[in-house]
Amino acid sequence: MNHQPPKIRSISEKHLIGLRIQTTLADNQTQELWQSFKPRVREIQEVLPNAFFSVQIFSHQGPFTPQTPFEKWAAVEVGELKALPTGLEVLTVPAGLYAVFIHQGLPSDFPKTSQFIFGSWLPNSDYELDNRPQFEIMDDQYRPDDPGAEEEVWVPVRKKG
């Protein structure tokens, strides 16, 4: 697997609408979350194109293990917050710096990408993890069963020191 260094991007605040669950890596319910959310996208107004967001919010302090709980969102980005469909929620992603990586492959290959980001690139970079949501962006053609599938991995960072 060829890991490229990330692009560093500064984003403005983003507004997402979606569904969320509490989960762990050991009890990963991402597929079920997306199966519940995808049919509801048509109910949302002002959806921006190619903007499916898989968001993780980590509030745990200390070492991260497969049993560490975190909040997982399946969401779309909206241009303007209008009517909120019943049962869906709003997530505002604060403005800030992100290191943007490309993950190519199946979701089961993601631990290798994660290991490169957090085990290799981040400790050797001029950046440290920032306390904001981490997310992946997939276009509307994304298929989790396609070994050639690509997704952008957005890791919140700030300059060290």
pLDDT bin (cut points 50, 70, 90) of residue 149 is: confident
Q: Tell which residue, 135, 141, 142, has the closest CA to residue 11.
A: 135
Class for the domain spanning 7-159: alpha beta
pLDDT in the model for residue 31: 86
Rounded to whole angstroms, the Cα distance separating 21 from 3 reads: 30
Determine how β-strand 14-23 pairs with β-strand 47-57: unpaired
Is this structure's pTM higher than 0.85? yes
